Structure 1
Amino acid sequence: MSALDHGGAPGWEDRPYRRIATEEAYAPQEMIDEYLRMFREEDVEIGFRSLMGYFLTSEHPQPQRVVQRLADLGERRIADMDAAGIDHQIIALTAPGTQVLDPGFAEELATLANDRIAAAVSDHPARYTGLAAVGFERVDSAVAELQRGVTELGLRGLIANSHIKGTYLDNPKYEPILRTAAELDVPVYLHPQTLPDNAIGPYYEAGLDGAVWGFAAETGLHLLRMITSGLFDRIPNLRLVVGHLGEGLPYFLHRIDHMHGKQVAAGRYEATKALRQPVSEYFRTNIWLTTSGMPWEPAISFARRVVGADRVMYAMDYPYQYVPEEVGEMDALPYSADELRAFYQTIAQDVFGI
């Protein structure tokens, strides 16, 4: 029996499914403090300054509410879940996570975050599941911390807040980390962060570098790099979860398959190699999508049709997009009771081992 069966938001006993939100963010206060120091004292990248400058220094109440909620793993978070009707959260270290930190502090922060999340799960097993963070740049240490997080702390996946100082997970140096996730049978959650300096310029000057479009462009690119590099052919049991309904890629899969096939046949790029299956097929064998930030029936139904209904699950994107009313909208999706139960509950239970 899952811990999920022992509690949830008010009224959970009378519902035929539990609502699991699968992309919900946490930030230790120590990380928030370090980000603020970096913003004030270092020559940080444009994206970091744009994103963290907004959340950490703005006087607007919206970013202030987000930061206050990020560091809470107790009564306030659970009260927000209850108010929205969310029974269970999959909690992970928020972007940009460890990826922008010095390697030594990245390791310390990952350990701290993993211990805090594991303690919260222990205190509230019916309400929380946690993902592990690692400091990616020191690969041996990252492997050891992922193993500790899963086997000792009971965490159920790895959070990867996209690029690591401009490098991507298709780089062979990160393969031992991904192989370890596959060997431990836990998924990797690929979460957006801001574009690196060598790509962000046109987005930033138009005010499009963040969630409005830049995040999708950055993380969609990352995901495509992972697929076209042959990573899933080399690690066929690697499981990846991607939010925001796949960062727009499901809409393009037909064109991507067509153009990738032509490029392979022509030998146009050294990096473009033949894969064991079309690009689109990896969305049906290795990749799952969540609805974080995308509570829109046409997009959800399209994604379910393209990649399979068993590949799409619910997420809210708390606290960045905390909109309690969206839960009612998702309950009203034109799906059967069994389909809603899979969408909200059983797919997430299977993927994260809840």
Structure 2
Amino acid sequence: MAKVGYLRIATEEAFAPPELMTLWRDMLGTATGLDPGFVSLVGFYARHGSERASTVAERLQDLGERRLADMDAAGIDRQIISLTAPGVQVLAPDRAVAMAIVANDRLAEACQRHPDRFTGLTAVAPQDPPAAAQEIERGAGLGFKGVIINSHTYGEYLDNQRFWPILEAAEALDTPIYLHPTAPPRTMIQPLLEAGLDGAIYGFAVETGMHLLRMITAGVFDRFPRLRVVVGHLGEALPFWLYRLDYMHAASVRSGRYDAIRPIAGKPSDYLRRNVWVTTSGMAWHPAIMFCREVLGPDRVLYAMDYPYQYVIEEVSTQDNLPIDETARKAFFQTNAELVFGL
């Protein structure tokens, strides 16, 4: 890729330490009653014999020369790296806390080796909210610039007040939370799974978009007004629903139909424009990117690749050629990320 007048900072790039990959494989081979989403997602990348599965699994575990070579080939100057889904959120609490520490230590070592190329996000175990809050503080001390939450934890979401120590810690440290997809929970997955739609093709967006919307309608951002959330894949479709979200939320509040839908300080779209940033991971498509820039604001849209799941060099040049001027292009690829993540 040719050099350009800005840094290309890719903001949703995944890794998994070998210790966690081994643990996942052991679970698949010995545990019973596993979550079907875990079996579908991890079972494919950890055990399937296809070229895609093996290549992704190898790249996930590499925080060295292969990753750097792939970045160089695509013209990526920096990756913001986070623990891939489902992370530690499928483990028992004690084991999840311990494995999050291992993952963060491995990532911190890589960031120290390559400080100009890698930036890390802190992995936590939401199963133990006080320990997660403590790990967020430790991650900040390691130089990490945000927190990764791989969506639901055993079917529970961040609108549940038992998780609010995590949000409180993130707000207090002014560190963004990256809300990343995972497979839908047991109570949601079956119609998607039986159609082969549970993963990145559709199920991820349905589940994670719902997670963010639950946070908005539950008043999370009224309680934590300075909380910043980054979400991939151009907002998991929520920007395209802004008008209807506002209309139907107001109608539901007026009708008193649902106990869970109560008045909040603003419209749902207000929070998406104030507390949320979206990245282009996996969505290298000019019309959708330009739409999000229009309805959310150009400062709310950041570049991402979705490495190694969607490593397509041509998609970088596609976004280099967005119909925007050079100042806006630099903000899209570089300075928006620098501001959000405090680089």
Q: TM exceeds 0.5?
A: yes
Cross-structure match for 1:40: 29
Aligned-partner Cα distance in 2 for 1:299–1:155: 30
Aligned-partner Cα distance in 1 for 2:173–2:109: 21
Q: CA deviation at 1:91?
A: 0.3
Aligned-partner Cα distance in 1 for 2:327–2:67: 28
Please tell me whether residue 286 in structure 1 is matched to residue 275 in structure 2: yes
Cross-structure match for 2:263: 274
SS in 1 for 2:82: strand
Q: Which moved more, 1:160-169 or 1:113-122?
A: 113-122
Please tell me whether residue 229 in structure 1 is matched to residue 218 in structure 2: yes
Cross-structure match for 1:113: 103
Residue 164 (structure 2) aligned to one of 175, 198, 202: 175
Q: CA deviation at 1:186?
A: 0.5
Residue 64 (structure 2) aligned to one of 46, 65, 74: 74
Aligned length: 342
Please tell me whether residue 323 in structure 1 is matched to residue 312 in structure 2: yes
Unaligned runs of 5+ in 1: 1-9
Cross-structure match for 1:192: 181
Change (3 A) 1:127 1:246: same
Cross-structure match for 1:7: none
* Amino acid in the other structure paired with 1:70: L
Q: CA deviation at 1:11?
A: 5.8
Aligned-partner Cα distance in 1 for 2:43–2:229: 30
Q: Mapping of 1:1-354 within 5 angstroms?
A: 12=3, 15-42=4-31, 43-150=33-140, 152-354=141-343
* Amino acid in the other structure paired with 1:71: Q
Aligned-partner Cα distance in 1 for 2:65–2:76: 14
* Amino acid in the other structure paired with 1:340: R
Q: CA deviation at 1:115?
A: 1.1
* Amino acid in the other structure paired with 1:50: S
Unaligned runs of 5+ in 2: none
TM-score normalised by the chain length of structure 2: 0.98
Q: Deviations over 1:223-250 (max 9, x none)?
A: 1000000000000000000000000111
Q: CA deviation at 1:340?
A: 0.5
* Amino acid in the other structure paired with 1:85: G
TM-score normalised by the chain length of structure 1: 0.95
* Amino acid in the other structure paired with 2:128: R
Q: Deviations over 1:229-275 (max 9, x none)?
A: 00000000000000000001111110010000000011111110111
Root mean square deviation of aligned Cα: 0.9
SS in 2 for 1:25: strand
Aligned-partner Cα distance in 1 for 2:71–2:12: 13
* Amino acid in the other structure paired with 2:294: R
Aligned-partner Cα distance in 2 for 1:134–1:220: 21
Q: Quote the sequence identity (%).
A: 54
Q: Which moved more, 1:156-165 or 1:45-54?
A: 45-54
